[in-house]
Structure 1
Amino acid sequence: MNPVEGTLEALPKLPKGGLRVVPLGGLGEVGRNMAMFEFDGRLLVVDCGVLFPENEQPGVDLILPDWSAYEDRLDDIEAIVLTHGHEDHIGGVPFLLRERSDIPVIGSRLTNAFVSAKLREHRIKAELREVKEGDRVTAGPFELEFFAVNHSIPDAMAVAIRTDAGLVLHTGDFKMDQIPLDGRITDLAGFARLGFEGIDLLMSDSTNAEVPGFVTPEEKLGPVIETVIREAEQRIIVASFASHVHRIQQVIDAAHKNGRKISFVGRSMVRNMGAASDLGYLDIPPGLTVSIDQAARMAPSQVVIISTGSQGEPLSALSRMATGNHRHITIEEGDTVLLASSLVPGNETAVNKVINALAKLGASVVSKDNALVHVSGHAAAGELLYLLNTAKPSNLMPVHGEWRHLRAHAALGRRTGLADDRIVLTTDGDVVDLVDGRVGIVGHIDCGMVYVDGGANSAGVDENTLKDRLILGEEGFLACTIVVSTSSRMIVRPAHAHARGFADNPEIVAAVEPLVDKEIQRQLEDGVRDAHKLAQAMRRVLGRWVSDTHRRRPMILPSVIDL
Structure 2
Amino acid sequence: MTGNDTDSPPVTVSFLGGLGEIGRNMATIEVDGRLAVVDVGVLFPDAEHLGVDLILPDWSSVKDRADDVEAVFLTHGHLDHIGALPYLLRDLDREGVPVYGTQLTIAFVEAILEEWPDLPEPRLEVIEPAETIEQGPFTVEAVQVSHSIPDGVAYAFRTPHGLIVHTGDFKLDQTPIDNRPTDIAHFARLGDEGVDLLLADSTGADVPGHVATERTVGRNVKEHIAAQKDGLIVVASFASHVHRIQQVLDAAAEVGRRPVFVGRSMVRNMGIAQELEYLDFDHDSVVELHEVDRYDRRQLIVISTGSQGEPFSALSLMGAGDHKHLEVGEGDLVILASSLIPGNEQAVYRSINNLSRRGCKVVHKGVAPVHVSGHASREELLLFHNVVEPEYFVPVHGEHRHLRAHGEIAEQTGALPEHVLICEDGDTVVLEDGVVTRGEPVTTSHVYIDGLLDDVGPALLRDRRRIGEDGICVCVVAVDTHDGGVVGDVVVTQKGVVFHGTEEDILEQAKQAVDRELASLTRVKFQDPQVVQRHVVQALGTFWRSETGRRPFILPVVREA
Q: Shorter-normalised TM-score: what interval? A: over 0.9
2:117 aligned with 1:120: no
2:100 aligned with 1:106: yes
Q: Following the alignment from structure 1 to structure 2, what is the Cα–Cα distance between the partners of residues 254 and 63? A: 37
Amino acid aligned to 1:463: P
Tell me how far 1:82 sits from its aligned partner. Answer: 0.4
Alignment of 1:418-457 (within 5 A): 418-454=415-451
Deviation track 1:249-306 (CA, whole Å, cap 9, x = no partner) reads 0100011001100011111111111000000000012422110112243221111111
Amino acid aligned to 2:89: L
Q: Following the alignment from structure 2 to structure 1, what is the Cα–Cα distance between the partners of residues 46 and 293? A: 32
Report the counterpart of residue 147 of structure 2 in structure 1.
Answer: 151
Report the counterpart of residue 72 of structure 2 in structure 1.
Answer: 80
Query: Across the two proteins, how many residue pairs are aligned to each other?
Result: 547
2:168 aligned with 1:172: yes
The TM-score, its normalising length taken from structure 1, stands at 0.95
2:188 aligned with 1:196: no
Alignment of 1:322-333 (within 5 A): 322-333=319-330
Superposed structure 1 runs of 4+ greater than 4 Å apart: 525-528
Deviation track 1:98-154 (CA, whole Å, cap 9, x = no partner) reads 123531110000000000000001224321100011100112111110011111111
Q: Following the alignment from structure 2 to structure 1, what is the Cα–Cα distance between the partners of residues 311 and 8? A: 50
Partner residue of 2:129 out of 92, 108, 133: 133
Q: Following the alignment from structure 1 to structure 2, what is the Cα–Cα distance between the partners of residues 278 and 225? A: 25
Alignment of 1:183-222 (within 5 A): 183-222=179-218
Tell me how far 1:524 sits from its aligned partner. Answer: 3.4
Q: Following the alignment from structure 1 to structure 2, what is the Cα–Cα distance between the partners of residues 139 and 311? A: 39
Q: Following the alignment from structure 1 to structure 2, what is the Cα–Cα distance between the partners of residues 426 and 324? A: 46
Partner residue of 1:482 out of 477, 485, 510: 477
Q: Calculate the aligned-residue CA RMSD, in Å.
A: 1.4
Deviation track 1:494-534 (CA, whole Å, cap 9, x = no partner) reads 21100001223333212111111121121134755211101
Report the counterpart of residue 9 of structure 1 in structure 2.
Answer: none
Partner residue of 1:277 out of 264, 269, 274: 274
Deviation track 1:455-486 (CA, whole Å, cap 9, x = no partner) reads xx652221122112111222210011111213
Amino acid aligned to 2:113: L
Tell me how far 1:196 sits from its aligned partner. Answer: 1.0
Q: Following the alignment from structure 1 to structure 2, what is the Cα–Cα distance between the partners of residues 97 and 545? A: 50
SS of aligned partner of 1:523: coil
Q: Following the alignment from structure 1 to structure 2, what is the Cα–Cα distance between the partners of residues 166 and 30? A: 29
- Counterparts in 2 of 1:542 and 1:297: CA distance versus 1, 3 Å: farther
Deviation track 1:385-421 (CA, whole Å, cap 9, x = no partner) reads 1111111111111010000000000000110111111
Q: Following the alignment from structure 1 to structure 2, what is the Cα–Cα distance between the partners of residues 525 and 518? A: 15
Q: Following the alignment from structure 1 to structure 2, what is the Cα–Cα distance between the partners of residues 458 and 435? A: 41
Q: Following the alignment from structure 2 to structure 1, what is the Cα–Cα distance between the partners of residues 137 and 448? A: 33
Amino acid aligned to 2:474: A
Tell me how far 1:34 sits from its aligned partner. Answer: 0.5
Deviation track 1:194-219 (CA, whole Å, cap 9, x = no partner) reads 11111000111100101112110111
Tell me how far 1:16 sits from its aligned partner. Answer: 4.3
- Higher alpha-carbon deviation: 186-195 or 228-237: 228-237
Q: Is the 8 A contact 1:498 1:506 kept in 2?
A: no
Partner residue of 1:550 out of 539, 548, 551: 548
Q: Following the alignment from structure 1 to structure 2, what is the Cα–Cα distance between the partners of residues 22 and 186? A: 26
Could you tell me the percent identity over the aligned residues?
48
2:466 aligned with 1:471: yes
Q: Following the alignment from structure 1 to structure 2, what is the Cα–Cα distance between the partners of residues 242 and 206? A: 23
Report the counterpart of residue 3 of structure 2 in structure 1.
Answer: none
Q: Following the alignment from structure 2 to structure 1, what is the Cα–Cα distance between the partners of residues 220 and 182? A: 25
The TM-score, its normalising length taken from structure 2, stands at 0.95
Q: Following the alignment from structure 1 to structure 2, what is the Cα–Cα distance between the partners of residues 137 and 558? A: 59
2:455 aligned with 1:460: yes
Where structure 1 has 5 or more consecutive residues not aligned to the other structure, the ranges are: 1-14
Q: Following the alignment from structure 1 to structure 2, what is the Cα–Cα distance between the partners of residues 522 and 460? A: 40
Tell me how far 1:435 sits from its aligned partner. Answer: 1.6
Report the counterpart of residue 22 of structure 1 in structure 2.
Answer: 14
Q: Following the alignment from structure 2 to structure 1, what is the Cα–Cα distance between the partners of residues 30 and 538? A: 50
Tell me how far 1:84 sits from its aligned partner. Answer: 0.4
Q: Is the 8 A contact 1:486 1:524 kept in 2?
A: no
Q: Is the 8 A contact 2:206 2:402 kept in 1?
A: yes
Q: Is the 8 A contact 2:8 2:160 kept in 1?
A: no
Tell me how far 1:325 sits from its aligned partner. Answer: 2.2
Q: Following the alignment from structure 2 to structure 1, what is the Cα–Cα distance between the partners of residues 240 and 163? A: 31
Partner residue of 2:41 out of 16, 25, 49: 49
